[in-house]
Amino acid sequence: MTAADARRHLRTAMRERRCAVPVRERLDAAAALAAQLLPELAGHAGHIAGYWAVGGELPLHAVQSALPATLRWCLPLLHADGHLRFAGWRPGQALDTNRFGIPEPSTGPRFGADALAVVLVPLLAFDANGQRLGQGGGWYDRSFAFRQAPDRNTGVASPSPGKMPYLIGIGYDWQRVERLDARLWDVPLDAVATPAAFHRFERHAKA
């Protein structure tokens, strides 16, 4: 099996398992996630991007409803250039549906990824090095590629510690895998929050 085949197989398996999580279990996990994540958001200020949970993704309503006053909630929007834009959103405000059937804010100013302080990133799998397996469309990797610094000798992009925004993956504990092979364009996470733990990765650990 090739590396590409292995990624496709893992993606399919994780999607199926995530979609099969019962609603009650999903809501309990969302409350536990908020207990892990909210203390870590203290001290951050500015725009925080969440996501609209689909396909069994962990819901973020418990996080959004208890955000520190210093953070303003946003949702991502697809843009024709293949990058994400973001817009502020509160419950009750108007939403449109994008081509994948995911709700997006329909009004308000749009801004780019570099205007965010924190991003809560959905995932299908993650490993102990902060590598993330997403849906395969590349939207997050393209949008946050500016966080990668090219090596002066090789020209290969590598993580730039401390560069904003702070990327926090969101997933169930069982979505952690032993290892994900990194591709040149993959943007690693700074941390991952699950219902049972908050995982900081060594290269981005706080001083």
| Segment 56-90, tens digit of pLDDT | 999 999 999 999 999 999 999 999 999 999 999 99
What is the reported pLDDT for 145?
92
pLDDT given at position 148: 78
pLDDT over 70 at 182, yes or no? yes
Domain 3-204, CATH: 3.40.50.10420
Q: Is the pLDDT of residue 204 over 50?
A: no
Average of per-residue pLDDT across 100-115: 94
Backbone angles phi, psi at 29, to 5 degrees: -65, -35
Average pLDDT, stretch 47-54? Answer: 97
Domain ranges of the chain: 3-204
The backbone region for 44, taken as left when phi is positive above 0, alpha when psi lies in -120 to 50, beta otherwise, is: beta
Mean pLDDT of 103-110: 93
Answer yes or no: pTM beyond 0.75: yes
In terms of C-beta density within 10 A (0-12 exposed, 13-18 middle, 19 or more buried), how is residue 91 classed? exposed
Q: What is the pLDDT of residues 135-160, one digit of tens each?
A: 988 899 999 999 876 544 444 444 45
Q: Both tokens of residue 199? A: 């995982």
Q: Please determine, for residue 21, whether its predicted confidence score (pLDDT) is greater than 60.
A: yes
Where residue 109 falls among pLDDT bands split at 50, 70, 90?
very high
Give the pLDDT confidence score for residue 203 in this predicted structure: 52
Q: What backbone phi and psi angles, to 5 degrees, belong to 22?
A: -60, 150
Does residue 167 contact residue 4 with C-beta atoms inside 8 Å? no
